[in-house]
Each structure stands twice: as structure tokens, then as C-alpha cells.
Amino acid sequence: MQRRELFSSLASSIKGEQKQERLLRPPYFGDESLFHNECSKCDAKCATVCEEEIIKIASDKTPYLDFSKNGCTYCDECAKACEFGVLKLEEKKLINANISIDKNKCVSWHHTMCFSCKDPCLDNAIDFAAMFMPEINDKCTACGFCISRCPTEAIELKVI
């Protein structure tokens, strides 16, 4: 085996061992395992009824949220459409994510006035200190409306 082949095989084995990223789920579930046990039986009704078109279906047939164009209004329609009890109205909670602003990427933190994240925020969850320096406050519901609006992709989402 040549040195190049050795390093290639080591790199591919390391990549194979990486932990799979958790998907951002709709805010109406109690048991994550139900996604894998029940969603394969469904024809993705939760995605078809989503007015914001943020529910996508992964390759394993489970729903996840994609905030690249819009956010979640917590309208309950996906839970109402779920026939297999994965998404339930009585399990409604905040989306399982933390939203933060990367100060290095944010133009407002670099003294350019920008309210791109604040304007679409339905919950008044972004505070500005002296018209600059936006920060996410405790009113944030992780709805995701601010994410696609940021011109510098400074708004970060971490699945919890």
C-alpha cells in the first residue's frame, strides 16, 4: 500500500465514523423514535399542508424543518395532518433549536445599520443596543424567520 492510499483510507474511515447530524423537527413531537418507526408509512401529509413550505422530507422519509426561505408560524396544521401520531397538538413546544447571531459576520455589529433580522421577527426577540449590536433575547421561539433574511448568514441555528 502506498502512502497516499493509506491516508485516503484513514480519511474515509474517519468520515464514516462522524456522528450523523440531528434533524430539526417540527415542534409537535414527544418521542423522536416515532419519526423512524411511523413516518415511513405516511405519504408526507405534514409537508403538503405546511403553508410556509418549510417541512421537507429526508431520505429516511422523516420530516424536518428547512428555514432557508421561511420560518414556522406554529399554525398546528402539520400536527393536525399527522395520521400516525408522530406529530400531536398536545406535544406542541418550541422548536428544538437555539438561534444566535455571529458577531463576526453581522454587518450591524460592524457599524452598518441593518434590521434584516428584526423586521421579520414575529416575537420581538431581537434587541438592538444603540441601533447596532443585535442580540437574541429570551422571547425567541426558534421560528427561523430571521435566518433567511440575514444578508450575511450571521444567524446561526443549533439543533438541541
Count of domains for the chain: 2
pLDDT for residue 11 is more than 70: no
129 falls within a domain: yes
Per-residue pLDDT reduced to its tens digit, 36-54: 999 999 999 999 999 999 9
Q: Residue 151, Cα to own-chain centre: how many angstroms?
A: 18
For the chain, give the percent of residues with pLDDT over 70. 87
Q: Residue 74, Cα to own-chain centre: how many angstroms?
A: 14
Give 79 or 6, the one with higher predicted confidence: 79
Give 152 or 20, the one with higher predicted confidence: 152
Contacting residues for 92 by C-beta, under 8 A, at least 6 apart: 27, 28, 74, 76, 79
Q: Do 55 and 41 sit in the same domain of this protein?
A: yes
Per-residue pLDDT reduced to its tens digit, 63-100: 999 999 999 999 999 999 999 999 999 999 999 999 99
Contact between 47 and 6 under an 8 Å Cβ cutoff? The reply is no
pLDDT for residue 120 is more than 90: yes
Grid coordinates of 50? 405546511
Q: Do 27 and 83 sit in the same domain of this protein?
A: yes
Q: What range defines the domain where residue 142 resides? A: 97-159
Alpha helices in the chain (DSSP H): 3-17, 33-38, 45-49, 77-81, 145-149
pLDDT for residue 10 is more than 90: no
Contact between 38 and 46 under an 8 Å Cβ cutoff? The reply is no
Contacting residues for 55 by C-beta, under 8 A, at least 6 apart: 26, 46, 47, 63, 64, 65, 66, 78
Contact between 79 and 66 under an 8 Å Cβ cutoff? The reply is no
Question: For residue 14, what pLDDT is reported?
Answer: 47
pLDDT for residue 19 is more than 80: no
Query: Of 37, 57, 91, which residue sits at a domain end?
Result: 91
Q: Do 86 and 112 sit in the same domain of this protein?
A: no
Q: Do 82 and 131 sit in the same domain of this protein?
A: no
Question: For residue 141, what pLDDT is reported?
Answer: 96
Smallest Cα–Cα separation from 134: which of 68, 121, 95?
Answer: 121
For residue 119, the 8-state DSSP code is T
Q: Do 80 and 37 sit in the same domain of this protein?
A: yes
123 falls within a domain: yes
Question: For residue 46, what pLDDT is reported?
Answer: 96
The overall average pLDDT reported for the chain is: 89
7 falls within a domain: no
Question: For residue 21, what pLDDT is reported?
Answer: 65
